Each structure stands twice: as structure tokens, then as C-alpha cells.
Amino acid sequence: MHQPLALQPLASNSATDILAIANNPVLWICVAGVFGVIIIQSAIFMKAARRAAPSVEMSSQDIKTSFRSGAVSAIGPSLAVSLVAIALLGLFGAPAVLSRIGLIGSAAYDVSAAGIAAGSMGAKLGDASYTQSVFAVAFFAMSIGGAMWMLATLILTPLLRKGDAKIRSVNPAAMAIVPAAALIGAFSCLGLTELPKSWIHVLSFLVSAAVMGLCLLLANKLGKSWLREWGLGFSIVIGLGAAFFAAGA
């Protein structure tokens, strides 16, 4: 990872000096570590798959085709995620964005976790109350949230592999209703919490929501699934554009 020295002078201009600590070299080392772990995992899994392939009548050409199909189909979504990540750079700095939004987590959960953590300290992300300490706690909250996902995966995968009857027999109605309710409840509360902050917050929220609605509608009507992937990126950029003009007006 390169050293983002260019960020240092800029950070001192801002009221809250987030980017100064957000680009701490130790955080860059951790990002490189996560990248490294994923590369090592992919290499081990590729080797294991190659070795097992002949036994299930999978040729080396099939392996090559699968790898290439996966790579090609990931180009669009990866660029879409990169756009969202770039939009969040100013708020969290590159190391946190790369490890949280780019990898392990996702924009929706991690931005929410950061917002909740900031709220638990009586602060708001991005404004004058967003101090270095708030950033550190928010980054911790995002990371520990991602860690819980991995912990659940580590515990549940071996159990599910054994076909544990207890887990499979969870009430299907509860499985359909409770998670969806938790998700919509969380995001609607987090979203509405933004509204009383200022009229520009309301405008940004509404513009972004409308763009996402339009993207999903067009994706459905025209059968263009790439619109679904790019929806979040488009919404953020257009919503921020509206906020920029409103703030300047």
C-alpha cells in the first residue's frame, strides 16, 4: 500500500482532523493484511478445487472457464462498489473504507453501524461533533460488526454442514418475517433520524431515495440488472450533487 502523504496537509484545514488518524500507517498495514488473507485463501481454495476436479468430471478447461466467468461477471459490481467507496473516503479515510465497505462488510451495514456508534457518543458523522475519538469508536463498531458476521459463519458453517436438525427446523414464518422486519426497521429509523438535521439532509435523502427507486424500477422494467448494482453509487453521487447545489444556493 502506498503512503497517502498528500492527505496530511488537507486534513489540517478541516474542523475535525479525521483523515489525519484515518490514514495512520498501522491501519494501512491492517488493510494490506486483509487483502493478503483473501489472496492466500483464494490460492488455497483454487488449488484444492483443481485437485478435486477430475473426480467429479470437471476438466481443467472447466476450471478455467469458471474462473474467467467469475472474474468477468465481477467487473461491473466491483466498479459499482468502488464508486460507493470513493464517495465515503472523505468520511472514513481510505483504510477504513477499503477494509469495511470494499471488503468484509458493505456500505449499508457499515455506514449504519458507524452512525449508531457515533450516536451512542452523542455525536453525528461528518459535522463538528465528529472528532477523532468518535471516528475511532465508529470504526471499531463497524469492524466488530463485521467480526460478528464472521464469527457467526465460523460457528454455523460446521453445524450446518452436519445438517443439524435443530437449525433447519427454525419456524419458517419467523425466518421470513423477523429478519425482514429487523432490516426495514433499522434502515427506516436510521434514515428518518437524518431528516431533522437540516433541510439539505432532507433533500439529499429524498433525491437519493428517488434515484434508487428509479434505478430499481428501470432495472425491473427493462431487465437491466446492472442498474441494480449501480443503484447505490448513482443515488449517492446524484444525492450529493443536489446537496452541493443546495448548500451553495
* Sole residue written with cell 472457464: 65
Report in angstroms how near the CB of residue 221 gets to other proteins at its nearest: 13
- Closest-CA residue to 88 (of 74, 109, 117): 109
What DSSP element (H or E) covers 161? helix 132-161
Residue 227 touches other proteins, criterion: CB under 8 A: no
Report in angstroms how near the CB of residue 165 gets to other proteins at its nearest: 14
Report in angstroms how near the CB of residue 20 gets to other proteins at its nearest: 10
DSSP state of 198: -
Residue 132 touches other proteins, criterion: CB under 8 A: yes
Report in angstroms how near the CB of residue 18 gets to other proteins at its nearest: 8
* Sole residue written with cell 468477468: 72
- What is the maximum span of the chain, computed from C-alpha positions, in angstroms? 67
**In the window 1-60, what residues touch other proteins (CB under 8 A)?**
1-2, 4, 6-7, 10, 13-14, 19, 21, 24, 26-27, 30-31, 33-35, 37-42, 44-46, 48-49, 51-58
x-or-dash string of contact with other proteins, 153-192, rule CB under 8 A: xxxxxxxxxx----x--x-xxxxxxxxxxxxxxxxxxxxx
Query: What is the Rg, in whole angstroms, of the alpha carbon atoms belonging to the chain?
Result: 21
By CB under 8 A, the count of residues binding other proteins is 174
Q: Please tell me the chain's helix, strand, coil percentages from 3-state DSSP, rounded to the nearest 5.
A: 85, 0, 15
Residue 144 touches other proteins, criterion: CB under 8 A: yes
- Closest-CA residue to 228 (of 81, 88, 101, 82): 81
**In the window 61-120, what residues touch other proteins (CB under 8 A)?**
62-63, 65-75, 77-82, 84-91, 94-99, 102-109, 111-113, 115-117, 119-120
Residue 218 touches other proteins, criterion: CB under 8 A: no
Residue 129 touches other proteins, criterion: CB under 8 A: no
Cell of 73: 461477471
Residue 125 touches other proteins, criterion: CB under 8 A: yes
DSSP letters, 169-181, are: TS-HHHHHHHHHH
